[in-house]
Every structure is written in C-alpha cells, then in structure tokens.
Amino acid sequence: MKTINEVKMLAAKQGLTLTHIAKFLSEKLNKEIALDNLSKKLRGDTIRYSDMKIIAQALNMELVFKEIQEK
C-alpha cells in the first residue's frame, strides 16, 4: 500500500484529514508545511522518518519496529 493511502486511511479512522496533519507538522517543526508538499512526499514515498514520527503523533499513534517471528 502506498504511504499516502495508508496515512489517509489511518487519518480517516481518527476523523482527521491530511490538512490537519500538515498543520500539526507545521506546529511541531516551527515551519510551514504545505498540504501539497506533504501529499507529494507521501505519494512519492520520500517523506523522512522523523516526519512520519510526527504524523504518528498527530494520529495518536506511534511507529513501532517489531521483530518478525519465524514460522
């Protein structure tokens, strides 16, 4: 699944939009994050990990690395 679709799906479950996420990022990073630029980064899978951690905060979630259990 593309990053943009995954973020949109998670946002919709929380009743949020990409606009809300862009504003949240702007506040946390103390710089303007345009919705168009955020969409392009998500669509192109070029978003930084540090930005994804902030997006997770906006969604009241956390990013977790989990070891894969061998069958």
At 27-68, the pLDDT tens digits run 999 999 999 999 999 999 999 999 999 999 999 999 999 999
Amino acid at 56: A
According to the model, what pLDDT value does residue 30 have? 96
Domain that includes residue 43, residue range: 3-58
Residue 57 burial (10 A CB sphere; 0-12, 13-18, 19+): middle
* Total structural domains within the chain: 1
- Look at residue 67 and tell me if it is in a domain: no
In a domain, 66, yes or no: no
Say if 68 falls within a structural domain.
no
Residue 9 lies in a domain: yes
In a domain, residue 70? The reply is no
Asked if the model's pLDDT at residue 71 lies above 80, the reply is no
pLDDT of 7 reads 96
Q: Would you place residue 70 in the very low, low, confident or very high pLDDT band (cuts 50, 70, 90)?
A: confident
Establish if 52 belongs to a structural domain.
Answer: yes
For 25-68, the DSSP string reads: HHHHHTS---HHHHHHHHHTT---HHHHHHHHHHTT------PP
Give the up-direction half-sphere exposure of residue 32: CA atoms within 13 A in the CB hemisphere: 2
Quick one: DSSP state of residue 14?
A: T
pLDDT at residue 60, rounded to an integer: 95
Q: For residue 17, what pLDDT is reported? A: 96
